[in-house]
Amino acid sequence: MGGGVGVRDRRRLAELTRGLAEWDGGSESALTAFLPEFHSLLGMDQSFSYKLEETNKGFSVSYLAGAGFDVPRGTKAFDQFIRNRLTGWAGFNAIAPEPTQRNRVLNWTELCKLQPSASNAGLIEIYRRIGFREDDQIRSVICDGASLLAWVGGFRSERFTERETALFAAMVPALERRLRMERQLANAELCSASLTLILENVAAAAFIVSSQYSIVHTNAAGRLMLASDRAKTFERIDQCIRGGAPIGWTVLAVAPRGVPGHHVIIASDPDRDEALVAIATRRWALTGAQASVLKLLVLGNANKTIAAELKRSLGTIELHVTAILRKANVDSRAALIARYWSLRFS
């Protein structure tokens, strides 16, 4: 680390890095505690950070914090500025920041080289209305790969020095780690809540099972099945994972990144399934042959297995599957199965 960074600077950097890693503010971003220290360390007039969420009409501000300006007023003004705008307003691609800008610390001169100031006219105007000093700006677009995590930076009337740029650059990896973790935790909580809701609305016993045959999650119907005959239920789950699912049981393999493989297992009621196939046949205008294929497909059977069961050629089954996907307006077997089960509630 160059730029005239001394021992005292390194000590403060270590404290800030540790603070980012250890921050425990519940749902509040660590940026809230980080920005005042960041503001002081770099001697800013105003410090500023925001996160975005993409909507059907453009972007909105999902988080904004700062120091040295009226934050509530600035948040409102900035949010109004970016609404209904897609790209071209931020000085970078807000959907997928350019590689030359990701996790790099840039000052105003460098930013103007990347994007002429004329194209930033609207952004400059909103900065002025918020009260930012635009004599110099220093910022980094913190990213996880091509995905924007947050914009972090500041403004002041004097030029930022090489030392201050080096200090900021040294903090970027810790910021990226912390913000990536915050996003992952938020997504995990959302996915967990969504998964619970979905399984509880499946009109059959449903289980998420690990590769070690441990039930990670089940719905109310699954809990009733376990209470009724635990040994028999585990026996059937074992059959599903080993490739011999009982009639009426659907098995879907799930392989999340960085996690051992799991299975989603649905123990269906054959009588209800007959009615559901009939609903799907009417809704999607399926032929009799396509309905027969669908009945086996939604149980997780491969095309080869369906062909053997129906005594048809593999090519014929593939044509039927393609037609079913088209009529159901989906692009994958997994999406078809999800849409099929959703017919219970439509």
Where do the DSSP E strands lie in the chain? 46-55, 58-67, 105-107, 136-144, 147-156, 205-210, 215-218, 249-254, 262-267
Q: Domain of 47: which CATH number?
A: 3.30.450.40
Residue 255 and residue 323 share a domain: no
Residue 179 and residue 214 share a domain: no
Dihedral through CA 245, CA 302, CA 330, CA 58, nearest 10? 80
Residue 248 and residue 145 share a domain: no
Residue 250 and residue 334 share a domain: no
Residue 275 and residue 227 share a domain: no
pLDDT of residue 316: 94
Residue 147 and residue 56 share a domain: yes
Q: Nearest CA to 42 among 182, 120, 140, 124?
A: 140
Domain residues for the domain of 155 are 7-190
Is residue 295 situated within a structural domain?
yes
From 168, 190, 212, give the residue that closes a domain.
Answer: 190
pLDDT, one tens digit for every residue, the chain (346 residues)? 556 677 888 888 888 888 888 888 777 888 888 899 999 999 999 898 999 887 777 788 888 888 888 888 888 888 888 876 766 677 788 888 889 889 999 988 887 777 655 456 667 777 888 878 767 889 999 999 989 999 999 998 888 999 999 999 999 999 999 998 888 877 777 777 777 777 776 657 889 888 778 888 888 778 877 887 888 888 888 888 888 777 778 888 877 666 667 888 888 655 566 778 888 999 999 999 999 999 888 877 889 999 998 999 999 999 999 999 999 999 888 888 888 877 765 5
Residue 207 and residue 309 share a domain: no
Is residue 1 situated within a structural domain?
no
Residue 71 and residue 130 share a domain: yes
Residue 238 and residue 297 share a domain: no
Is residue 112 situated within a structural domain?
yes
Domain count, the chain: 3
Is residue 2 situated within a structural domain?
no
